[in-house]
Structure 1
Amino acid sequence: MSTAGKTHILVVDDDADMLRLLSMRLTGAGYRVSAVTSAEAALNQLDIERPQLVLSDVQLPGRDGLALFDEVRLRHPSLPVILLTAHGTIPDAVEATARGVFTYLTKPFEGKELLDKIAQALSLSAPALPAARGDEAWRDEIVSRSSRMAEILAEARMVAQSDASVLLRGDSGAGKELLARAIHRASPRAKKPFVAVNCGAIPEALLESELFGHMKGAFTDAVANHKGLFQAADGGSLLLDEIGDMPPALQVKLLRVLQERAVRPLGSSQSIPVDVRIISATHRDLDAAMATGQFREDLYYRLNVVTLTLPTLGERREDIPLLANHFLTKLAGKYGKRLSGFAPEALKALTIAAWPGNVRQLYNVVEQVCALSSTPLIPLALVQRALRSPSVEVLNYADAKQRFEREYLVGLLKLTDGNVADAARLADRNRTEFYRLLQKHELTPGHFKADGGTTAAEPVAD
């Protein structure tokens, strides 16, 4: 049998008999083994090929196993290391475990115990399926090694080659937008725009203009022609996220656009042809929504040519360590910290936790521990603390100030029915300064007037 697909383990021990015994046991268990007798030789081997696990004796000539671990952690933070220790070096091994060694085994040890520890280490740190290489680049944002996700990605890639409308189902935070982007990148439309809009986050009066565009003078404050998102996505793909929250009146207009393959901007008498591939997403039960008349059956069947259902994070637990380390690497740069990974116990706690908010919640938990960590290795206590508290988004002061400022302005405009003079007076600011604030946050006073039929809180996106 070829060894190319086998899990590769690097074994380091200066005792030739022990090295031979370990190699035989691991080879017999189906692993591919590289055996070396010193830390220097191990580091040279790492330069040639990265294994999936390092198994090293603590006592080595020259640089010892602890120093080797430090260098491995520096080069490859997520690479698991197991140390073999004699009784005299147990304290050193215990300290190393606190610093990030996956575990240690005391000589003599049982062969089954060794294989169990190796299997456990590999299950918590196995690499994602190859991505971002050659024809796999389309799914490079999706970090996964689960069989459930592999099946969905295989289906997604097949459907991407057609122009069939796709409905993505799944709980909030499961990664529907990431999958939509992957489908776009795998499609013949990949070089054209991908545009996403959250149908539940934009009020009805704004959503129509946002999707279909408007002409100058179509309504108060429409001071220029505005291209809608259908036109912006022409030739490419349009994600209608949370399609189940789209108001019924707009569902009728959307159905007409899909049937005619043309949009008519507000205030225009002319329709504009558009060539757009529709991907829609929802966490709602659309069958129940149709039964109660909240969602049009004819629109449902036009959107639901192919359905892909994303699993919850709890249904793909083998991906949790991968995702946690992936997010940690990204967030370490954001917070300017040198973080090497999670302590084994911390990673286990993440793996067994309940994740009602799915991948988005995991990201928020990792961001919390990243922001608060004072050590390179994230400890169990910090993870437990983050899991006990609501996993809220971590904002820096400037972003929090921006968010508060915008929500404050929206509140004033709602209270004053879009009257800028009254709103500025309540804010104790002159009108010129108040207009500048509104412009900064892309807020249009006219959208808050009672005759506009909306209590808008969302800006018109670019």
Structure 2
Amino acid sequence: MSAIARIVLVDDDPDLLRLLGLRLGAAGYEVEALNSAEAALNALAARRADLLLTDWRLPGMDGLELFEQVRQRYPAMPVILLTAHGTVPDAVEAVSRGVFGYLVKPFDGKALLDKVAQGLSLAGPGRPADQAATGWRSGLVSRSPAMEELLAEARMVAATGASVLLRGESGTGKEVLAKAIHLASPRAGQPFIAVNCGAIPDNLLESELFGHEKGSFTGANARQTGLIQQADGGTLFLDEIGDMPPPLQVKLLRVLQEREVRPVGATRATPVDIRLVSATHRELEALIQEGSFREDLFYRLNVVSLRLPPLAERREDIPLLAAHFLEKIATRYQKAVSGFAADALEYLSAAPWPGNIRQLANVVEQCCVLTTGSLVTLAQVQKAVASEESAIPTLAEAKRQFERDYLERLLRLTGGNVSDAARLADRNRTEFYRLLQKHELTPAAFKLE
């Protein structure tokens, strides 16, 4: 069970204090209700909270002064001010200084709970309630129902030795989930080896995965242990499995069937005990129909299939993820950035995110680097999102695009003649056809009229 979010509530009106405490308590929060700022600081020193909700007008130290004290001591804690109509301009100014938000009296219960939920989403990475900050899912930042259901399935699967196929768009966090499955499994103390099949050139992938003996091919000056053997006893994660060449698919199938691996140039196989988790953003069933992916390997990989939702389907997690990335990046660059302005966070939450979590992380990093104040503003977020839309692609994406452009040039040059194009590329026809299938290129479309 997740821990309950703790809220410190401050108001000198005993009736309002009791009413707000009841509303928040009924919503499932743990509430400590206090009648002064000084009492709130003492309570926070004794036991940290997830959010501070305070009236502006208080005897002695007022709500804004309380916020300044809290920001110095607990910079990641969101603060919500309760204010009267006459102090709205002051409240707006307070937001620019780092207050998460404000509520104008009188307000209804839904407005209160919505604002509190938004504030708690900012405090996400520090809250064991939502992050399970230690343990198998420590790298996963989520509270959305879609992800919670997925993680429940992942934990059940982790306890078995079954092969798992992770599906989902690029940037949805498939490697992070694979690592979580490993950590939740009986193999947690053993190696976790991750390989991106689309990022390693085809002529090197076999040697990287299976290893090789000294002298087995030109340039093999020493024996190399393959990544499959390095994962012995643990988990091997094969990302972008749909990009694996068919000859290596055969060798991988043999490893899974016979539980042994034979390095390139070796005369005998070596026993190996691995748990395989693979991932793809492609439809493997379509690749099977095209003949570029083996059906028997697919069934070996697809014992259990888990789909990671795109970020647009888990928008509740965007504030959590943004705050998580900001905290890590601010620490890395030694920047005193404590959070996002409310309108900036709303913009992030509504953006389309075609690049999913990876794109969000890049945007947050750009914002953090360029921010000079304590809060990331709406203008900075908008600029970073616009810049990210034309950002430099990843190495794997650049490699795929280069390969496709190169094949198109060859086909245009040869008028769609596969034999001539393969000769110019110094590849045999079978391998060249496989490359064309991988990039969904039809030679007939390039024939000269």
Number of aligned residue pairs: give it: 402
Specify the alignment match of 1:218 in structure 2.
Answer: 216
Q: Give the aligned residue type for 1:59.
A: R
Equivalent residue number for residue 297 of structure 1: 295
Q: Matches of residues 221-300 of structure 1 in structure 2 within 5 Å?
A: 221-300=219-298
Q: Calculate the TM-score normalised by the size of structure 1.
A: 0.79
Q: Percent identity?
A: 63
Distance across 2 between alignment mates of 1:29 and 1:392: 43
Read off the aligned partner of 2:357 and give its amino acid letter: V
Structure-2 separation of matches of 1:305 and 1:207: 24
Given that 2:318 and 2:349 are in contact with CA atoms closer than 8 Å, whether structure 1 keeps it comes out as yes
1:99 corresponds to: 97
**Counterparts of 1:301 and 1:28, CA distance in 2:** 49
Partner of 1:374: 372
Distance 2:272 2:205 in 1: 18
Kindly indicate whether residue 31 of structure 2 is the aligned counterpart of residue 33 of structure 1. yes
Match of 2:420 in 1: none
Aligned to 1:423: none
Deviations for 1:84-121, whole angstroms, at most 9, x for unmatched residues? 22455443322111122232234455555445544554
Shift of 1:79: 3.0
SS in 2 for 1:138: coil
Indicate the residue corresponding to 1:308 in structure 2: 306
Partner of 1:445: none
- TM-score w.r.t. the length of structure 2 is 0.82
Give 1:28 deviation, angstroms.
Answer: 5.8
Match 2:338 to one of 337, 340, 346: 340
Asked if residue 384 in structure 1 is aligned to residue 411 in structure 2, the reply is: no
Partner amino acid for 2:248?
L
> Residues of 2 paired with 1:156 and 1:297: CA distance?
24
Provide the residue aligned with 1:417 in structure 2: none
Change in Cα spacing, 1:17 to 1:53, as seen in structure 2 (3 Å) is: same
Q: Distance in 2 between matches of 1:152 and 1:206?
A: 34
| Structure 1 match to 2:316 | 318
* Correspondences of 1:89-128 after superposition (within 5 Å): 89-109=87-107, 113-122=111-120, 127=127
Distance 1:113 1:260, change over 3 A: closer
Superposition deviation, residue 221 in structure 1: 1.5
The secondary structure found in structure 1 opposite 2:9 is strand
- Aligned partner of 2:130 in structure 1 is 129
| Cα pair distance change 1:140/1:224, threshold 3 Å | same
Do the aligned partners of 1:100 and 1:344 also contact (CA within 8 Å) in 2?
Answer: no
Matches within 5 A, 1:343-354: 343-354=341-352
Give the match's secondary structure for 2:130: coil
Please state how far the C-alpha of 1:131 moved relative to its aligned partner: 1.2
Provide the rounded CA distance (Å) in 2 between the counterparts of 1:183 and 1:117. Answer: 34
- The range that moved more, 99-108 or 301-310, is 99-108
1:364–1:391 contact (8 Å) kept in structure 2: no
Indicate how the Cα distance of structure 1 residues 298 and 394 shifts in structure 2: closer, same or farther if over 3 A, else same: closer
Could you report, residue by residue, the CA deviation over 1:409-446 in whole angstroms, capped at 9, with x for unpaired residues? xxxxxxxxxxxxxxxxxxxxxxxxxxxxxxxxxxxxxx
Deviation per CA, 1:261-290, whole angstroms, max 9, x where unpaired? Answer: 111111111111111111111000000000
Is 1:61 the counterpart of 2:74 in the alignment?
A: no
**Is 1:160–1:187's contact at 8 Å kept on the other side of the alignment?**
yes
Q: Is the Cα–Cα contact under 8 Å of residues 184 and 237 in structure 1 kept in the other structure?
A: yes
Question: In 2, are the aligned partners of 1:365 and 1:391 still within 8 Å (CA)?
Answer: no
2:13 to 12, 15, 30: 15
List per-residue Cα deviations over 1:121-165 (Å, max 9, x = no partner): 4466555524144xxx01110011111111111111111112111
Cα distance in 2 for residues equivalent to 1:252 and 1:289: 15
Secondary structure in 2 matching 1:54:
strand
Who is 2:446 aligned against?
A: none
Aligned pair in 2 of structure 1 residues 125, 212: CA closer, same or farther (>3 Å)? same
Distance 2:188 2:247 in 1: 32
Q: Distance in 1 between matches of 2:29 and 2:160?
A: 41
Q: How many Å apart are 1:39 and its aligned residue?
A: 1.2
Partners of 1:168 and 1:217 in 2: CA distance: 37
